[in-house]
């Protein structure tokens, strides 16, 4: 027998690829919700068919969110409203945080049903540090704005996670290498699907790999924090420092090499001082 859900907002994580990743609790919430707020009704309809149900759906995406939000909030006072994205956890690079904020301000009960998230799944595949990470999401599409956005996070000592499309992947990897240094990185795609893969290497190696062949599917880029990258050895660092010191002061030489090779500036500065002595 169906369970009756209390009125409110239910944030439901859905599969990022394999439909069997839908949790039993998420299926139960979708089965018993009065209405489901969706990004794309065609995508959500496939998921509902998978669990054998049909439900009323209302659109909730960037183009209509401001217009439909007040009506959804009003419905939450009397009905159970489930919020889903096309894939993964709602609000993560998807619309929804304003709906949660306004629902909370209206005193609406809010329940989260956790589940798949492409950013976290890619982090587990890449073999990079997981103790601290920053989810950046999609970078700007224009080259200048993309470079400026990356420059803002160059000093953050954390693994960086980006979403990207196939056609822009190589350009983004090249810009990341230019701005962050040639750090170790991973490119994960088709997570939980038949052709799941996570290719690792330096940012320049990955940029070259995808330069002539844009991959299909949803893509996550994971970049190591500042430190010794896969492509740079101590000998590489010494050679770069020796060259830079012929042109620049000790501090500026350390900064240039740190940015270019993705190494720690303080360690390079100490090494540069030793080399000069």
Counting Cα atoms < 13 Å in the Cβ hemisphere of 54 gives 0
Domain ranges of the chain: 8-113, 118-223, 234-276
Nearest partner of 89 among 127, 120, 126, 132, judged by Cα? 120
User: Residue 67 phi/psi, 5° resolution?
Assistant: -75, -35
The dihedral through the CA atoms of 103, 104, 106, 110 has a sign that is positive
User: In this structure, what DSSP letter does residue 43 have?
Assistant: H
Q: Which two tokens stand for residue 240?
A: 């770069």
**Residue 212's pLDDT is what?**
86
Which residues, given as ranges, of the chain have pLDDT below 50?
A: 1, 228-229, 231
**Residue 5's pLDDT is what?**
95
User: Residue 143 phi/psi, 5° resolution?
Assistant: -60, -45
Residues 6+ apart with CB under 8 A from 270: none
**Residue 46's pLDDT is what?**
97
**Residue 261's pLDDT is what?**
73
Q: Which two tokens stand for residue 212?
A: 């002539």
pTM for the structure as a whole = 0.79
Residue 232 DSSP SS3:
coil
Mark residue 274 as left, alpha or beta (left: phi above 0; alpha: psi -120 to 50; beta: remaining). alpha
User: Residue 179 phi/psi, 5° resolution?
Assistant: -90, -35
Superfamily in which the 8-113 domain is placed by CATH:
Tetrapyrrole methylase, N-terminal domain (3.40.1010.10)
Which CATH topology does 118-223 take? 3.30.950
**Residue 2's pLDDT is what?**
52
**Residue 233's pLDDT is what?**
64
**Calpha distance 147→162 (Å, rounded):** 14
Give the E-state strand segments of the chain in sequence order: 8-12, 35-38, 57-59, 80-83, 110-113, 133-138, 159-164, 184-189, 197-202, 219-223
Nearest partner of 58 among 159, 75, 167, judged by Cα? 75
**Residue 277's pLDDT is what?**
77
Residues 6+ apart with CB under 8 A from 112: 10, 11
DSSP 136-165: EEEPPSSHHHHHHHHHTTTT--SEEEEEE-
**Calpha distance 81→251 (Å, rounded):** 57
Q: Which two tokens stand for residue 25?
A: 């609790």
Residue carrying structure tokens 């707020």: 37
User: In this structure, what DSSP letter does residue 259 have?
Assistant: H
């Amino acid at each position: 027998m169906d369970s009756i859900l209390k009125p409110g907002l239910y944030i439901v994580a859905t599969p990022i690829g394999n439909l069997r990743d839908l949790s039993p609790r998420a299926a139960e919430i979708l089965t018993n919700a009065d209405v489901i707020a969706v990004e794309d009704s065609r995508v959500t309809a496939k998921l509902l068919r998978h669990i054998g149900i049909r439900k009323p759906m209302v659109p909730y995406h960037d183009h209509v969110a401001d217009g439909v939000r007040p009506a959804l909030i009003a419905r939450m006072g009397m009905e159970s409203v489930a919020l889903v994205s096309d894939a993964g956890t709602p609000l993560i690079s998807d619309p929804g945080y304003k709906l949660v904020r306004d629902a909370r301000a209206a005193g609406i009960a809010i329940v989260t049903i956790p589940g798949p998230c492409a950013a976290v799944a890619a982090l587990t595949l890449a073999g990079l540090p997981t103790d601290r990470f920053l989810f950046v999401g999609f970078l700007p599409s224009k080259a200048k704005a993309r470079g400026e956005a990356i420059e803002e996070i160059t000093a953050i000592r954390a693994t960086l996670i980006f979403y990207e499309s196939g056609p822009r992947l190589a350009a983004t990897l090249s810009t990341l290498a230019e701005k962050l240094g040639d750090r170790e990185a991973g490119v994960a795609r088709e997570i939980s699907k038949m052709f799941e893969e996570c290719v690792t290497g330096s940012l320049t190696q990955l940029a070259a790999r995808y330069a002539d062949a844009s991959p299909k599917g949803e893509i996550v880029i994971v970049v190591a924090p500042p430190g010794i990258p896969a492509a740079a050895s101590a000998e590489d660092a010494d050679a770069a420092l020796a060259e830079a010191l012929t042109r620049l002061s000790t501090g500026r030489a350390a900064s240039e090499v740190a940015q270019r090779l993705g190494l720690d500036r303080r360690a390079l500065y100490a090494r540069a001082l030793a080399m000069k002595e």
